[in-house]
A = this chain, B = another copy of it.
Amino acid sequence: MNGKYSSYLDNLIKKLSSLPGIGPKSASRLAFHILKMHPDEVTGLSRAITDLKENIRTCGVCGGISEGEVCGICVDPSRDRSMVCVVEDARDILIIESTGGFKGLYHSLNGLLSPLDGIGPEDLSITGLVERCRSGGVSEIILALNPTMEGDATSLYLARVIAGTGVRVTRIAHGLPVGADLEFADGATIAKSIEGRVSM
């Protein structure tokens, strides 16, 4: 390693290692895989990276990713415009979309409240959300933030802020995952699932 072997290899391994979830060993495996790939495939991968960065921007309405001024979901006439699902970031929109179970609109906060990291309400896309509530047409805000300390704090904050607009605020259910076993669930999850019980 240490620069002597090939600066091109060292450079790519260093760059790949800086990506989330990729350590030096995976980076080295990837670099050697790239060496074995067909040149056209390598060019394709390299192009796909720059293409993404150059062509994707933030949707002016929901804060999700978009190829134009406003994203495909926000302009889709078949979506239910009365429900807005609030998520932590744009990636969560894709995750919920992939389930196909939600037909409303989205709003990405682009983060969560975290006083310890100095992230306050003004750092998140909260003003835009309140404006969407006030502009009419929205009857329910569904908070779909992760059940962490920051997620819960942000949910509570939003519920209070949105209450003033008269729009109903709900939160996605927290409980036992489908297929899970009570025996292996943690206490907090079991407590949440009892607290959030529904009649049958």
Contacts and interface: CB of A to CB of B under 8 A. Distances in A.
Interface string A42-58: 11111111111101100
Interface in A31-50: 31-35, 37, 39, 42-50
Interface residues of A, number: 54
A148 interface: no
A199 interface: no
A148 B8 CA distance: 32
Contact of A30 (B2, B4, B19, B32): B19
B20 A98 contact: no
A66 interface: yes
A97 interface: yes
A66 B7 CA distance: 10
Contacts of A55: 6, 8
Nearest to A35: B56
Interface of A: 1-2, 4-9, 11-12, 15-16, 19-22, 26, 28-35, 37, 39, 42-53, 55-56, 65-67, 71-73, 89-91, 94-95, 97-98
20 contacts: A5-B72, A5-B97, A6-B72, A7-B67, A8-B55, A8-B67, A9-B52, A11-B52, A12-B51, A15-B44, A15-B48, A20-B33, A21-B30, A31-B52, A32-B91, A34-B53, A35-B52, A35-B53, A42-B49, A46-B47
